[in-house]
Amino acid sequence: MNIVVCVKYVPDAQAERTFNASDNTTDRENVDGLLSELDEYAVEEALKIVEAGEGEVTVLTVGPDQAADAIKKALQMGADKGVHVNDAAIHGSDAVATSLVLAEAIKKLGDVDLVITGMASTDGTMGVVPTMLAERLGLPAVTFASELTVDGGAGGTATIRRDGDASTQTITATLPALVSVTDQINEPRYPSFKGIMAAKKKPVETWALSDLGVDASQVGLDAAWTKVSSFDARPPRTQGEIVNDEGDGGSKLAAFLSERKFV
């Protein structure tokens, strides 16, 4: 079974994240980054499927030079090979353009039985790319999987359990299909020393937009459907106000909350 896992390199949530003053896009170069935590569950699930049968796992990412670190982490976990779509024209792309680039890359990879993604990226948290990607590929999309069972035989299927607030759904799709997984589906493994060493010898291809037949006018900030119009730095924290309770502490607290429209 050939599985493609789409992953994203995102700014570290613990770092001081900001925007580029020149074009109001997320600064991805002057901040530490890593493989999106939610994508680790997608990588783990793909590895479990292959380990239970046979096949290979290809990790696909779109991003600048540093995005290679996301592929590196997935290879250390056990993925077989990686593909990095890296082109300056992609800078500023929105979800629509990102799904286009991912779709064309997957088509270039050839026969794919299953595409797995995380439920969302930890920087954008939109969660729309998996469904957009499935639409572009003409694949059934079964999303927000808390459990995944794959029958990879002739006429194979992918069956998921989706846990909602009021009900649990069981959904089955014929392969090839796209599945997005939640952080409830498994416990991602840590790369072992053996895995870290083995990753150094695994193949990673780097493709540009021209390799995918995608015109630069279809991606990037100029083609984005949404843009950040302005931003302001978070103001520094100020010293809190100390209220001495002289029998009217409750009234002072209520007035404080009401003034700030909390109540």
Mean pLDDT on 239-255 = 84
* Residue 238: per-residue pLDDT: 83
Alpha-carbon distance of 217 to 4, in angstroms, equals: 26
End-to-end CA distance of the chain: 56
pLDDT at 123 over 80: yes
Alpha-carbon distance of 6 to 189, in angstroms, equals: 18
pLDDT at 113 over 90: yes
- Per-residue pLDDT tens digits for 130-140: 999 999 999 99
- Per-residue pLDDT tens digits for 163-176: 988 999 999 999 99
pLDDT at 28 over 90: no
pTM here is: 0.86
- How much of the chain exceeds pLDDT 70, in percent? 99
CB 159 within 8 A of CB 177: no
CB 209 within 8 A of CB 216: yes
**Among the listed ranges 15-29, 128-142, 198-212, 222-236, which one has the minimum average pLDDT value?**
15-29
CA torsion angle 70 75 81 86 (round to 10): 10
Identity (one letter) of the amino acid at 67? A
Q: How far is CA 181 from CA 76, 118, 178, 257, in A?
A: 20, 5, 10, 40
Torsion sign, CA atoms 102, 103, 104, 106: positive
Alpha-carbon distance of 86 to 62, in angstroms, equals: 6
Mean pLDDT on 88-94 = 94
Structure confidence at residue 80 as a pLDDT band (50, 70, 90): very high
Mean pLDDT on 192-203 = 97
Residue written as token pair 């991805």: 28
Q: What angle do CA 184, 188, 191 make, to 5 degrees?
A: 175
Mean pLDDT on 96-100 = 97
* Residue 91: per-residue pLDDT: 92
Question: What count of other Cβ atoms lies within 10 Å of the Cβ of residue 253?
Answer: 13
Mean pLDDT on 54-65 = 95
**Mean pLDDT: which of 145-149, 151-155, 239-243 is highest?**
145-149
* Residue 241: per-residue pLDDT: 77
* Residue 22: per-residue pLDDT: 84
Structural domains for the chain: 2-223 (3.40.50.620)
Number of helices and strands (H, E) in the chain? 7, 12
* Residue 256: per-residue pLDDT: 87
Mean pLDDT on 94-113 = 96
Mean pLDDT on 23-32 = 79
Identify the residue with better confidence: 31 or 255.
255
pLDDT at 27 over 90: no
Q: Which of 219, 201, 202 lies closest to 210, judged by CA? A: 219
pLDDT at 154 over 70: no
Question: What count of other Cβ atoms lies within 10 Å of the Cβ of residue 240?
Answer: 6
Q: Which of 66, 68, 96 lies closest to 84, judged by CA? A: 68
